Structure 1
Amino acid sequence: MAPLARSECLFIVITLSFSVGCFTASASAVKAAYWPSGSSSPPSAIDTSLFTHIYYAFLMPNNVTYNLEISNSKALILSNFTTTLHHKKPPVKALFSIGGGGSDSSVFARMASSPVSRKAFINSALEVARNLGFDGMDLDWEFPENPKQMLDLSILFNEWREAIKAEAKATHRAPLLLTAAVYYSVDFLIFGGRRSYPVQSINRNLDWINAMCFDFHGSWDTSKTGAHAALYDPNTNISTSYGLTSWVKAGVYPEKVVMGLPLYGRTWKLKDPNQHKIGSDAVGLGPGEDGVLTFAQVEKFNRRTNATVAYDTVYVAAYSFVGTSWIGYDDVRSTTIKVKYALGHGLRGYFFWAVSYDSEWKVSSAASRAWTP
């Protein structure tokens, strides 16, 4: 998971709708966020009243042994992460995420292809979780590239869950949580060939999936501005509503689906400063590293430049512009609507990438308030 992950470009209009009851078990709701390990804001600064689960991002297995090799210094950081979050008021669950958008997908493909390497990986992950006080584990494999790798992923989930059950029984402790960060849609129609996630294995083995409903547009396409986390898109199936619908239509239980929300914006350089809507012509990236600004940086940029802030009710997305600079992002209004959408369609909750990108907890607070079953 990273702001630079590539997304599909399928210019097809497909309209689907959920037909499920509302998820009312508010005690089980997920209000999660990922905490990047290089964050300048420490775990102690997190307002845990706004969250239920915080993910440490990221760990990576060795590309030969497939073990999570944790140095003494890293172990100290991870132990501090879990201890801090467990002693906050209120406390939150702490998980670690394995992989991420910048990781080598081939490592996961090789690991998942063999019973021996899967066992080594799973045992190592359980050992790290228990030894360092984590409540669970998350796999962020971006992305399985073909049907064979999806089948291997299914087997990995099966064996991982069995190992969790066996460990919990042997130690008389609560089972560790197991989640996965996944593509916004259950299907990949291009970008490596058609393949689909293993729905039955997900239902059987995972506590929930974190659907990455962002990065629909970005630095890989500088010709048009884009709402990179649009709830709806009138012209394509590249939208949060399409992606979430695809998961439920494929058979994943709604209470196992968690909607991803971005706390960052993507930027473009306008071709014509007078044409500044979503989908306007662009000639390159705008401000920020690789055309990315955190929400806090977006607000600072808007104030400093006196940018015009706008909102598109069709896409359910905010954007701002000044001169040739254009930024698409989620604000309090769009996030509130998207969280209510997830709640109203019976989903388990939402997560943010990433917790340290907010501005004075504005968006995180709005999301928490909006989740009122």
Structure 2
Amino acid sequence: MSTRSVVMASPPAVKGAYYSSDPTVFPPSAIDTSLFTHIYYAFLMPSNVTYKFEISSSTALLLLNFTTTLLHRSPPPATLFSIGGGGSDSNLFSCMASDTKSRKAFITSAMDVARKFGFDGMDLDWEYPSNPKEMKNLALLFKEWRRAINVEAAKEPGRAPLLLTAAVYFSVDFFLDAVDRKYPVRAINQNLDWVNAMCYDYHGGWNTSITGAPAALYDSNSNVSTSYGLRSWIKAGVDRTKLVMGLPLYGRTWTLKDPSFHEIGSTAVAVGPGDAGALTFMQVEEFNKKNGAIIVHDMDSVSTYSYAGSTWIGYDDDIAAMLKIGFAQALGIRGYFFWSLGSDSLWKISRQASRAWVVGE
């Protein structure tokens, strides 16, 4: 018997992004596909009665335009459609996942949509299972979904199985909540291609009293940080090749109580400019330039903030993103993704991230 060790090739890196833009403002044809390996169409929702996807003719046109446009780009990224999203009804997913028949109806319909409209896979963004029972049902859903994918692919020799991913909380458990619950890591390892950890929205307009880094890599005062979140997934046993780090292409804004105090953690009185205190990175750069804002790179948190008058904005720029990419690669995880396409400024962050992710030999 040979004593030579077998070296398994690492799976290709994921450089993902979610597309949730108005196609009349930012069409799929405007995406620089050279910067991404996977692009998610966000979002679709099943019926709350049948748990099947009822695609209208107008949505069907959007889906076909999305997949067809990206398929003919060079290079063509893999396409997935994402189910749910932050504004969706969590109770719908809870009810669907609680019963064998409804899970089957949902899975079959999702796979039909993927094949009909030319997607390479599906992504579940259930925000969030609210108790241990729902987490167990999520595990069952993943198991049955993977089984159905394998059966479907086996019917046509040479056909690639559909991808199956999920967008998840930044941490493996919900340590900030009253109800203790944790994602089913074993089911994730066995059945998903990877999970997209949403490493952002740590601070925002829901707390108007104090400024904060929305996507801090480090936080010396709490565990609300990307470094803690990603390490919690690894410590819980998730395969590093199934873990993808989320990066924001937007900032959160506050109105300072006293403009002379403008550090992270300064007292604020309200949200600042933008939709509910949120600005795209493009809008942040426009604000900074128009108002002559002071820009600070905070190395303690690995984040960026700017201020002008009483307005304070916390965000990630290309420098913060590059440093986070280095951290993620040092952890040995699969890759990164952005929320969301159409928010970058001339592909500034997206391009820097793609260059920063060093591909091994």
Fold conserved (TM > 0.5)? Answer: yes
Structure 1 residues 339 and 166 mapped into 2: Cα distance closer, same or farther (>3 Å)? same
SS at match of 1:189: coil
2:21, 2:342 within 8 Å by CA — same for their partners in 1?
no
> 1:25 deviation in Å?
5.5
> 1:191 deviation in Å?
2.9
SS at match of 1:356: coil
Corresponding position of 1:20: none
Structure 2 distance, partners of 1:142, 1:51, is 25
1:218, 1:291 within 8 Å by CA — same for their partners in 2?
yes
Structure 1 residues 144 and 27 mapped into 2: Cα distance closer, same or farther (>3 Å)? closer
Sequence identity (%): 63
Whether 1:163 and 2:135 are equivalent positions in the alignment is no
Whether 1:45 and 2:30 are equivalent positions in the alignment is yes
Whether 1:144 and 2:144 are equivalent positions in the alignment is no
Return the match for 2:255 from 269, 274, 292. Answer: 269
Whether 1:60 and 2:56 are equivalent positions in the alignment is no
SS at match of 1:28: coil
User: For each residue in 1:70-125, what CA deviation from the matched residue of structure 2 results, as whole angstroms up to 9, or x when unmatched?
Assistant: 11221111011111111101111010000000000000000000000000000000
2:199, 2:225 within 8 Å by CA — same for their partners in 1?
yes
Corresponding position of 2:350: 364
Alignment gaps of 5+ in structure 2: 1-6
Structure 1 residues 83 and 279 mapped into 2: Cα distance closer, same or farther (>3 Å)? same
User: For each residue in 1:241-298, what CA deviation from the matched residue of structure 2 results, as whole angstroms up to 9, or x when unmatched?
Assistant: 0000000000000110000000000000001101000111111101111000000000
Structure 1 distance, partners of 2:93, 2:197, is 19
1:209, 1:256 within 8 Å by CA — same for their partners in 2?
yes
SS at match of 2:123: strand
Return the match for 2:114 from 94, 112, 129. Answer: 129
Corresponding position of 2:227: 241
Corresponding position of 1:100: 85
Q: Any runs of at least 4 consecutive aligned residues in structure 1 with deviations exceeding 6 A, and if so which?
A: none
1:96, 1:134 within 8 Å by CA — same for their partners in 2?
yes
Alignment gaps of 5+ in structure 1: 1-22
Whether 1:182 and 2:181 are equivalent positions in the alignment is no
Return the match for 2:216 from 230, 245, 267. Answer: 230
Structure 2 distance, partners of 1:48, 1:190, is 37
Structure 1 distance, partners of 2:9, 2:204, is 36
1:146, 1:192 within 8 Å by CA — same for their partners in 2?
no
Within a 5 Å distance, the mapping from 1:263-342 to structure 2 comes to 263-342=249-328
1:37, 1:56 within 8 Å by CA — same for their partners in 2?
no
Corresponding position of 2:16: 32
Structure 2 distance, partners of 1:242, 1:29, is 22
Matching residue's letter, 2:269? V
SS at match of 1:298: helix
Structure 1 residues 129 and 37 mapped into 2: Cα distance closer, same or farther (>3 Å)? farther
Structure 2 distance, partners of 1:114, 1:26, is 37
Matching residue's letter, 2:80? L
SS at match of 1:193: coil
> 1:29 deviation in Å?
0.3
How many positions carry a matched residue from both structures? 351
Structure 1 residues 74 and 80 mapped into 2: Cα distance closer, same or farther (>3 Å)? same
Structure 2 distance, partners of 1:138, 1:338, is 24
Structure 2 distance, partners of 1:312, 1:24, is 39
Matching residue's letter, 1:132? F
2:21, 2:27 within 8 Å by CA — same for their partners in 1?
no
Structure 1 distance, partners of 2:119, 2:92, is 24
Corresponding position of 1:12: none
Matching residue's letter, 1:290? A
> 1:332 deviation in Å?
0.7
SS at match of 2:50: coil
Matching residue's letter, 2:350? S
1:37, 1:58 within 8 Å by CA — same for their partners in 2?
no
> 1:26 deviation in Å?
6.7
Structure 1 residues 164 and 37 mapped into 2: Cα distance closer, same or farther (>3 Å)? farther
Corresponding position of 2:4: none
Structure 2 distance, partners of 1:34, 1:365, is 16
Matching residue's letter, 1:220? W
SS at match of 2:342: helix
Matching residue's letter, 1:245? R
SS at match of 1:121: helix
1:268, 1:326 within 8 Å by CA — same for their partners in 2?
yes
Question: Normalising by the residue count of structure 1, what TM-score does the alignment of the two structures yield?
Answer: 0.92
2:126, 2:167 within 8 Å by CA — same for their partners in 1?
yes
User: For each residue in 1:339-362, what CA deviation from the matched residue of structure 2 results, as whole angstroms up to 9, or x when unmatched?
Assistant: 111111100000000011000000
Question: Normalising by the residue count of structure 2, what TM-score does the alignment of the two structures yield?
Answer: 0.95
